[in-house]
Structure formats: C-alpha cells, structure tokens
Amino acid sequence: MRYSRIVSMAPSNTETVFALGMGESLVGVTEYCNYPPEAKLIEKIGGFSTPDIERILSISPDLVLAMDFHEGMGITQELSDKGIHCCLLSSESIFKAPQNIVKIGKVLGCLEKALNMAQQVDQGIKNVLSIAARATHRVRVCYLCDIACAAWRSCHMSKLMEMLGGINVARDIAEGADEDTVIREIISQDPEVVLYSQGYEKSEELLSAVMKEPEFIKTSAYRGGKIYGLKAELICRPGPRAAEGLETLARLIHPELFEG
C-alpha cells in the first residue's frame, strides 16, 4: 500500500521521512518537529508524549509513525481501532537509528534508499565510537538537563558521555535532589567540561544558577572556558542525524581526537 497521508508522532520519524524524500506525504507532526525547517509548516498534532488523538483523526491519516512508548499509553490501539495503520519505532537510544530508518523505509516503499541511509548512519556511529576509544584519559563532564537535574547515572546522556571517554560528574547525585545539592555536588567534582541544552530555557536556567556560585570559578571547566551549548535534539533523536549528534558530543569531550 502506498501511504499518502502520514502523521509522525516523533521528531526522529519526521526527519527520517524527509530524508527519504517523502516529506510531502506528511500531514501532521508534533510541536517538537523542527527539522528540516519545512516540518515547522506542517499541522501540529500535539506534543511528543501528549499527542491529541482527536486532532490526528481530524486530518484523516492513513499511516501513523509512532514510538514504542505510545503503545504502552494505549494511543496506537485507539488509532488502530479507528482503522489507522500504526508503525512503531524504537525510542531506546540514537543507536536504534539505523533500525528505525529501515523500518520506515520499508513501510513507505523506499527500502533500498533506507538501507543505504541506515548503513551510512551505522558506519558513522561506529567511526565515532572507534575514535573515542583512542582516548588515553577520561574527562570529567557535567550535562545540565533541567532545573535541579543533571544527567543521572541511569539516563541515556550519561551512558553516551561514558562511552565517549567522559566521566559523568553527576553519576552519584541522588535523583530528585534539590537544586542546591545538585549545584554543590557538581562543583565539588570539578568538571572539566560543562554542557547544557542550548535553546532549552530550563537547562540554561540551571547553568545560570551554577555559574552564580562563587566556587564555580575555581572549576577546570570555568578556568578552561569549556562551557558549551549543545543541541540536545542531535543526541536524543534516533534518526538520520544520529551519527552527527554523537560526533558533536564526542568532539566536546575529546576535541584532540578529532583534530586534523
């Protein structure tokens, strides 16, 4: 079946559809679908985890590209009951990007193009991991997520930083700790690199609160000028830009490995 009215319930799915040359078939995307720029012009169907079912039904899609957690929310079942075909993709990590690309390509009837794209993304990810494995030392990294929230040990960003030769300085901070505790613990660990989500207000607010602390100027990150904004979408979307996002993060942690 050739699908002509597609709703994407995740930014990564939207990016993949466009990358496969099928963007004109999208009739609905989430409020967070901002890439490529053309995605911003498509009708919005709600948030990533808060899609509006009635709005989706109102635009009469013949295919919905959902994520695995939407199934647990009962959303895909509700859509299926209305006769709408749903394709589930993995939200586990950016390492699922090749798998997701192939699955979308198959359902859209452009499998060969999807296989080529998936291979390129997969090889790109492997190249970055191979380069990062050459690191001779581990860098103390702090990623500021939200108000009173750094990258905990259990989160995906923490795992990525560790894979790329970093040490997550927030790994032992208790989840749910208050802001003062989070800030104090971060500073005590003397991070060499501080990252924050560029353009995300709450992440920037936490950065501002950390930088106001008198002791912060003594940290290696401050003294070395290694405080960087990072487009979080690059390292959390399992889509065509996954390898690019992984390399961006790796370069911030170990820039010396990517020189020349």
What pLDDT was estimated at residue 176?
77
What pLDDT was estimated at residue 2?
85
6-127 and 136-258 in the same fold? yes
What pLDDT was estimated at residue 151?
62
Which pLDDT tens digit goes with each residue over 62-118?
Answer: 999 999 999 999 999 999 999 999 999 999 999 999 999 999 999 999 999 999 999
Q: Where are the domains of the chain?
A: 6-127, 136-258
CA–CA separation, 21 vs 256, rounded Å? 36
| DSSP character at residue 198 | T
> Would you call 220 exposed, middle or buried from its count of C-beta atoms within 10 A (0-12, 13-18, 19+)?
middle
Q: For residue 38, is pLDDT > 60?
A: yes
Which value, to the nearest 10 degrees, does the dihedral of the CA atoms of residues 158, 159, 165, 168 take?
30
In percent, the amount of the chain with pLDDT more than 70 equals 96
CA distance from start to end of the chain:
48
What pLDDT was estimated at residue 224?
97
Q: What's at 224, amino acid-wise?
A: G
CATH architecture, range 136-258? 3-Layer(aba) Sandwich (3.40)
Confidence bin at 149 (pLDDT 50/70/90): low
What pLDDT was estimated at residue 161?
93
What pLDDT was estimated at residue 157?
87
pTM of the prediction?
0.93
The string over 55-71, giving b where at least 16 C-beta atoms fall within 10 Å of a residue's C-beta and e elsewhere, is ebeeeebbbbbbbebbe
Q: Which two tokens stand for residue 4?
A: 């002509």
Q: Which two tokens stand for residue 78?
A: 């509700």
CA–CA separation, 140 vs 167, rounded Å? 5
Sign of torsion over alpha carbons 243, 247, 249, 253: positive
Report the mean per-residue pLDDT for the chain. 93
Pairing of strands 149-150, 139-146: antiparallel
Class of domain 6-127: alpha beta
